Amino acid sequence: MSFVLRVIINGFAIWLATVLLSDGLQIVGADSTSEKVLIIGFIALIFGIVNAVVKPIVQILSIPLYILTLGLFTLVVNALMLLLTAWITGFTDWGLEIEGFWWAVGGALIISIVSFALSILLPGSRK
77 belongs to a structural domain: yes
pLDDT digit string, tens, across residues 15-71: 999 999 999 999 998 889 999 999 999 999 999 999 999 999 999 999 999 999 999
Domain containing 117: what range?
A: 2-121
Between CA 82 and CA 98 the distance in angstroms is: 9
Query: What is the total residue count of the chain?
Result: 127
Query: What burial letters (b/e) apply to 65-82, b meaning 16+ CB within 10 Å?
Result: ebeeeeeebbbbbbbbbb
87 belongs to a structural domain: yes
127 belongs to a structural domain: no
∠19-24-29 over CA atoms, to 5°?
A: 70
126 belongs to a structural domain: no
What are the residues facing 28 on neighbouring strands?
A: 95
Domains: count for the chain? 1
**Taking 70 as the threshold, does the pLDDT of residue 125 lie above it?**
no
Question: Please, which pLDDT band fits residue 3 given cuts at 50, 70 and 90?
Answer: confident
**What are phi and psi for residue 97, nearest 5 degrees?**
-115, 130
pLDDT digit string, tens, across residues 59-69: 999 999 999 99
Element (H, E) at 82: helix 73-89
**What are phi and psi for residue 69, nearest 5 degrees?**
-100, 10
96 belongs to a structural domain: yes
34 belongs to a structural domain: yes
